[in-house]
Amino acid sequence: MYPSTPPAAGRDAWSDDPPPGAAGPPHGPGRRGYPADPGPAAREGDPGHEPDDDAEFEDEIEIVPVRRRLSAAIAGFAVLVGVGLILGAQTSGPGARIPFAVVVFGVQVLFVLAWTMATRPPALPWVAGVAVAVAAAADLLAVTRQEAGLSPLLLVAIGGAVLAVLGQLVRRADRARLTESVGATLLVTFGVMALGTLLVLSRVPAGTQAIFVVATAAAVALLVARVTDAVFLWPRLAPQVPRGAAGVVAGAMCGTLASAVLGSYLVSFTPASGAVIGLVAAGAAVLTDLGAGYAEAGRQMAGDPPTLWLARHLQGPLGGFALAAPVAYAMTVLYL
């Protein structure tokens, strides 16, 4: 019989099993070609290791800084556009509609340049040229026709949109992007038509006063919203959009208040009617301005190339006035 020996003393030196009591592989060099455990700190840097989803999401979000001077400059631009439309409407009359048409056409050209450079549809020069032609034709019809109406402007906008889309079908590269750019093309062509409704509104009874009220409400709303964002950006609506809810709400309220005050002095208005029309116009202006900021942030997150910075920042106020114009016409015809 062989004498019994302790397990530790009689252990084979070449055995692959760990000694009794060992909890796991050591952190030192591996044995018999097996790599050592690198530890939790090294495992986090391993390409095969999946990091925390929340941490990765936080790293991907880029918070856009607030540029206070830029917000104030955009507010000043909105005021200039509103003052130009108000003064142009005051000079409009049965025998003097051309000056106001020139003012509206200038705003339409700015709208085309800003929105085409921001959205960058296929065949951009062609789309911009067609939109400018639509603006000129719509203004000419609005000024020269015996009876004021929106149907000729609508037909011109539809024809211009079809012509712009057909021009995008010529090149193969433009055809590949046609589906995703139809919305931008329609927006540009119908946007200039919407601004042309101001000329039709100036020929309607009480239309000049309605333009005064609506343009004031939109300008005040955009001014207050942008200045509030410059000094008090709270609560922030999105990390990628430097806009706050306080500015949007305050702008709509101040625009409504301004239109109500004007309604108490104008003959064809009352404070209540001025407040109603001003509320709709101011709300449309600030929400369009806000939506333009979200659209630009979406394009940047999608990886689109950056556009001209001036066009990016002017498209919001110009879009606000473009939407407020047909709203003013509808409210004047249906409400007053």
132-173 confidence digits (pLDDT tens): 999 999 999 999 988 888 999 999 999 999 999 998 888 777
C-alpha 264/C-alpha 36 separation (Å) is 84
The whole model's pTM is what?
A: 0.80
Which tens digit of pLDDT belongs to each residue from 265-319? 998 899 999 999 999 999 999 999 999 999 988 888 888 777 778 888 899 999 9
Classify the phi-psi angles of 33: left when phi > 0, otherwise alpha if psi is within -120 to 50, otherwise beta: left
C-alpha 254/C-alpha 274 separation (Å) is 13
31 — pLDDT class (breaks 50, 70, 90): very low
Q: What is the dihedral of CA 121, 126, 129, 133, to 10 degrees?
A: -100
**Spatial CA neighbour of 103 closest among 80, 85, 91, 77:** 85
The tokens describing 4, both together, are 């019994």
Q: Is the dihedral of CA 150, 156, 158, 161 positive or negative?
A: negative
C-alpha 323/C-alpha 191 separation (Å) is 8
Which tens digit of pLDDT belongs to each residue from 116-136? 998 888 889 999 999 999 999
